[in-house]
Structure 1
Amino acid sequence: MRTTSLLYLYSLATILSLHSCKDPICSSGRDFITLESLMEEMVSVESEPCFPAPVFTTKHVSSYDRRSVIPGTPSWHANRDNTGFVRYEANNGRVEKVLFDEEGPGVITRILTTGGSDGANLRIYFDGEKEARIFIPAYDISLFPLDIPEGLLYKHEHYSTTQGSSFYYPLPYAQSCKITADNVDRDYFFHASCRKFLKETKVQTFTLKDGEALQGKAQKISEQLMHPKNYAENPEIKESRLTAHSSLRMELPDGEKAVRSLSIRVSEVGSANYISLMRSLIVKISFDGVQTVCAPLSDLTGAGMGAPAVRSYYLEADGKGYSELRFVMPYRRKAHIEVENISENSANVKIEACISAWKWNANTLYFHAGWKQENGLETNRGLDYNMGTLQGRGVFKGDMLSLYNHCPRWYGEGDEHIWIDNEEFPSHFGCGTEDYYNTTFAPIHPYFNPFGGAPREDDEASRGYNTFVRTRNLDIVPFNERLQFDFELISWDGGQVDYASTLFWYGDPETKMTNISDSKEALYVLPPAIYTEK
């Protein structure tokens, strides 16, 4: 097993080797990491496609069932996911459950709390302090003692009964951070994601005073995340009528440049063919002679089966044929975009890519996306669904899960496991599909936030079609050799599911998703939709 310290050394060696190059290093933060620099990074286009400098690894701490110890054994899918914690501890006359305890320097990038608020409080301790700097009443992270703007705090659909919230306001610390709950007679659903820096990295620990001074900046960042502005300069446009089994290819300008926004508009298609056609248009993008993107249009934009509307910071679709990606996509010499129609239907297709000059640095990465589909997966049989496995070096940026649920009710009890490099146990282990995608229980309506949402939910019992999408901001996951992302296949009643997944990442040109599906899998005839009265 490769230890965390060895991973740090490996990552440090990577960055040091990059420093020896003639090109400069683009930074995902500053030499001195502060609350302000982290806020700026959240909307920084320049740091987006870079391997991180200063280097960090990531970890996800949750309340998952601690009986899950050995993959492949019956206890691996243990499902009492509100029971896990680090230890009991005595603090100032109180007994507290320690939910999170990490040595620094680091940054908490995401917190999720849910499960009801009666009789418990959260405390956050920084740098070994004896009394907590942050006190949060009622086990409700949305009651953080600052006015956290809407774009950095998402209250879940069931907030009124469970107080479930996702908190994306960064909390940096120089030495350590500990989070506790003070009612030890209760169990808690809890998530916290963090960056772990090398020990020499300089980080300024969060204070409420700093937060208050930066309220205006936080509000501006929130507005940018919730209402992203499209880059519209230097558009390259190509359009054509795509008949059956034809394609449209657009060459981009040569030189060090970047695609700053990419839109694809599909029109003049009959309503009866819209759903199947949006999945049968395969988007392929090549940078500097290497194809790094291949996925159905509906899935590439986070909409999934049925191509409904999407609204988030990186992905947007109107559910009527217009789709847009706002991931920055740099290249050094040349690039082209192709849309291939693998169906028997026809439609007008218009590609528009807005281009800017770009300075290619030693740790600049290419944008990638890969897609796969598996049908007839059995739940409650001790199996995991592999969302995707990435081989090479890169930064994981997000994913989409689109599915048809043949089970009578909820299918998503399974936890996520993300294995980084050569881990023998996943450093990211969650509490269920719903929490991974920022909702306390199974959604009963579509919902959106800057970091994704649920574009499709046809039935309040979770039967039929569902789509989830999550894109990552400060909670990106760097990897040096490999990243494997699995979901446990656990449903309430047992049965089958059809899953399709798309992964988004930045990586070296040779970094690849090892188990993509053939594009022809997108011709799979979708089952009829299930609708109930809302």
Structure 2
Amino acid sequence: MVVFYSCGTSEEKEVAYEEVVRRLMDMKALAKLPGHGEKSAMWSSYDRESKIDESGKFINWDANIDGLKPQYIRKEGDKEVLAEMEGPGAIVRIWSASPAKGHVKIYIDGNEQPVIDLPFIDYFKPSIPAFEYPALVYETNARGFNNYVPITYNTSCKVVADPGWGQYYHFNYISFADGKTTESYTAELSDNARTALKEVNDFFTHKMGNSPYQKGEFESIRAKEKIPAGHAENLLSIEGSGAIASLKIRMDIKDEKKRAEAMRKVTISMRWDGSNEDAVWAPLGDFFGSAPGKNLYKTLPMGMTEEWMYSYWYMPFEDGAEITVTNDFDEDIEIFLEVEKDDLEDFNKDEIGRFHAKWHRDLKNLPKERWPDWTLLETQGSGRFVGTQLTVWNPKGGSCSLGGPGHWWWGEGDEKFFIDGEKFPSIFGTGTEDYFGYAWCDPTEFEQAFHSQSMDNDNMGYQPMNRWHITDNIPFQQSFQGYLEKYFPNNWPTQYSTVVYWYLEPGGEDPLKRVAVKERYGFETPYEVYREEGVVEGEELAIEKNTGGWATVDSWANEKLYTAISGHKVLLWNAAPEKDNELDLRIPSDYENGRYKVYANVIKNKEGGEFILVINGEEMDPIDCFIDQEGIRVEEVYLGKAALGDSETNTIKLVWKGEKNKGRTLKIDYLKIQK
């Protein structure tokens, strides 16, 4: 059964819990302009050093110690207040990168007993009946913890954490329009609540990519057009009123190797109500949520399948609609279109917003005191912000070191959303990847109903991702100003392109215009990553056993060393003085039986220690990573000879010597093994 829930009427006063649940996939409701008092905001562990003083001056606007102090509203004894809201409203999204065992308690409506009292890590597990829905409560493949189960309250809500709760948090919440009340959350879910949660969870689990609407009397419209190079074709022209509820497009080209180029050079535009201005304009692939090229993924409103690129955004109009495809590619293309058109019976004429979606790269430069803010969207009028598609070009990769502009990992930047001219953003995040629902700059592909990452280039290339605001859509009455912090400059090179999606009242200000083809394709600055030939990269070694401190094969070197560090990553091991400190590794290569010379390219600094490398039981000369001076040095050192053979017989062991007056850090770029 396909689930659809109407947006309701303005006369309804109480918002039942199951209705809030059903908003998780109520695409039609997004087109209704917000009522007075309706809002969406977020409490997070952003760095409180970022401030705006009474005169409007931005202070420490680039502060970046999110979650490390930690950050909270205030302390009550040894407890930390993480979030505090007035009702009626609902928490609609909880996120963390490092939830731990310390309890987090949620108090609602002034009650002395918490309605939920769990270790924070259990907020992301099937720990209570309300959280037993894995399409709503999960950890992504890319290490972000998310919980989209609504927690409603009628007068107030406070979130309090015990010591040891973890690190980093978001609590997104909504406030209902004036005059509304809601059914307060209870751990004893009603039958209606369970049914609603199950229906949504089942759809997200088994039917993702299908229409979320009950089709009813939808009118189906199909079109096929061959569009010559350099031409535009009107694919759809509708008179009167209605709404596009489903839009599917397939593009055929002669040479599949050129698909990425074609999907950026071919654009889609939409106009409503006879306007001469685009409400939608974007490269075809970017509009459908991923770039470059066609990367298969499925989310609730958008996706790319083998057959179609699809959109289920609800797009209403009162006096006509047009969809045009322009071919700036140098070959003819063929476009196949399927549209499902709805009427507007569920809406009053004066409450309908118009769907907007626009692509851009870099907008106007902001004042220096606003660095590192990068503009997503500035718009005027009443409406709702509903999503972001971001494609990052970052060929160098990057670590999280704090060395100044260009020396952060690209995803450090927080989202900052100012609503209706507020002086300080009511949505202030903790990192770009956190906004997109994952964590720790993990490039792994994932797809969930409200967010996805559809390509994995190990953070050294293209990184396409999206985030859809459905229950957590951001209503505004007068204006919306949205920014992402962008620490890496374009010449690093780290270059962004985005499609922003929002609803806007007729007559509202949409400032974004079309972008010339030369500015939207081929703008990425090329960069060749240094790689040493014929070596075993540190990041290719597999950690079999660690009896020491903390080890990883996914550590970025300092950016200043990129011309000397092959692949820009290293094996990192911080030994622990109280441990045995042995690290067992596996080499991913086969060798002919024989004796080999062994070299290691290592990073030396004042934190470096002395280590012994043992290959198949043969002890090599010590690896001394210590230098008694400030700075960093990369050096290839000869370690000795060892016998190697078939990979199944090869063992590598690293042992920390624990020498006095030396550090305990080992950073190996690569091993060079020569017969």
The alignment's TM-score, normalised by the length of structure 2, stands at: 0.68
Contact 1:113 1:140 in 2 (8 A): no
Measured in 2, the distance between the counterparts of 1:87 and 1:518 equals 46
Deviates more, 1:355-364 or 1:412-421: 355-364
Q: Considering only CA atoms, is the larger Rg found in Structure 1 or Structure 2?
A: 2
5 Å matches for 1:292-441?
292-318=279-305, 322-359=308-345, 360-361=347-348, 362-374=350-362, 382-409=371-398, 410-441=409-440
Q: 1:246/1:386 Cα in 2 relative to 1: closer, same or farther (>3 Å)?
A: same
Amino acid corresponding to residue 237 of structure 1 in structure 2: R
- Do structure 1's residue 111 and structure 2's residue 94 form an aligned pair? yes
After superposition, give the CA deviation of every residue in 1:405-425 in whole Å (9 maximum; x if it has no partner).
Answer: 144313110111001111111
Q: Which runs of 5+ in 1 are unaligned?
A: 1-24
Measured in 2, the distance between the counterparts of 1:390 and 1:210 equals 40
Deviation at 1:57, TM superposition (A): 1.3
Deviation at 1:40, TM superposition (A): 2.4
Deviation at 1:138, TM superposition (A): 4.6
Measured in 1, the distance between the counterparts of 2:177 and 2:324 equals 42
Contact 1:72 1:382 in 2 (8 A): no
Measured in 1, the distance between the counterparts of 2:474 and 2:310 equals 24
Q: 1:271/1:150 Cα in 2 relative to 1: closer, same or farther (>3 Å)?
A: same
**Corresponding residue for residue 145 of structure 2:** 165
Q: 1:426/1:126 Cα in 2 relative to 1: closer, same or farther (>3 Å)?
A: same
Q: Which runs of 5+ in 2 are unaligned?
A: 1-6, 399-408, 530-538, 541-553, 555-675
**Corresponding residue for residue 151 of structure 1:** 135
The DSSP-based 3-state class of the residue aligned with 2:85 is strand
Deviation at 1:254, TM superposition (A): 2.3
The DSSP-based 3-state class of the residue aligned with 2:410 is coil
Measured on the aligned residues, the alpha-carbon RMSD in Å equals 3.0
Deviation at 1:253, TM superposition (A): 3.5
Q: 1:525/1:57 Cα in 2 relative to 1: closer, same or farther (>3 Å)?
A: closer
Contact 2:243 2:342 in 1 (8 A): yes
Measured in 1, the distance between the counterparts of 2:225 and 2:110 equals 63
After superposition, give the CA deviation of every residue in 1:16-71 in whole Å (9 maximum; x if it has no partner).
Answer: xxxxxxxxx95489420121111223333542310134751121110101001138
Amino acid corresponding to residue 485 of structure 1 in structure 2: G
5 Å matches for 1:84-99?
84-90=71-77, 95-99=78-82
The alignment's TM-score, normalised by the length of structure 1, stands at: 0.85
Contact 1:458 1:529 in 2 (8 A): no
Contact 1:380 1:491 in 2 (8 A): no
**Corresponding residue for residue 100 of structure 1:** 83
Deviation at 1:342, TM superposition (A): 1.4
Contact 1:35 1:210 in 2 (8 A): no
Q: Which has the higher contact order (CA 8 A, sep 6+)?
A: 1
Q: 1:258/1:142 Cα in 2 relative to 1: closer, same or farther (>3 Å)?
A: same
5 Å matches for 1:10-409?
27=9, 30-53=12-35, 55-70=37-52, 73=58, 75-82=60-67, 83-90=70-77, 95-118=78-101, 120-143=102-125, 144-146=127-129, 147-157=131-141, 159=143, 164-183=144-163, 188-197=167-176, 200-210=179-189, 214-226=193-205, 227-228=207-208, 229-230=210-211, 233-290=218-275, 291-318=278-305, 322-359=308-345, 360-361=347-348, 362-374=350-362, 382-409=371-398
Contact 1:311 1:450 in 2 (8 A): yes
Deviation at 1:304, TM superposition (A): 2.3
Deviation at 1:158, TM superposition (A): 5.2
Equivalences, count:
497
- Do structure 1's residue 481 and structure 2's residue 481 form an aligned pair? no
Q: 1:155/1:207 Cα in 2 relative to 1: closer, same or farther (>3 Å)?
A: same
Measured in 2, the distance between the counterparts of 1:415 and 1:488 equals 5
Amino acid corresponding to residue 505 of structure 2 in structure 1: D
Amino acid corresponding to residue 42 of structure 2 in structure 1: H
Contact 1:413 1:491 in 2 (8 A): no
**Corresponding residue for residue 6 of structure 1:** none
Amino acid corresponding to residue 316 of structure 2 in structure 1: P
Contact 1:50 1:365 in 2 (8 A): yes
**Corresponding residue for residue 524 of structure 1:** 522
Deviation at 1:368, TM superposition (A): 1.0
Q: 1:212/1:189 Cα in 2 relative to 1: closer, same or farther (>3 Å)?
A: farther
Q: 1:246/1:439 Cα in 2 relative to 1: closer, same or farther (>3 Å)?
A: same
Contact 1:258 1:357 in 2 (8 A): yes
Amino acid corresponding to residue 387 of structure 2 in structure 1: G
Deviation at 1:200, TM superposition (A): 4.2
Measured in 1, the distance between the counterparts of 2:374 and 2:128 equals 40
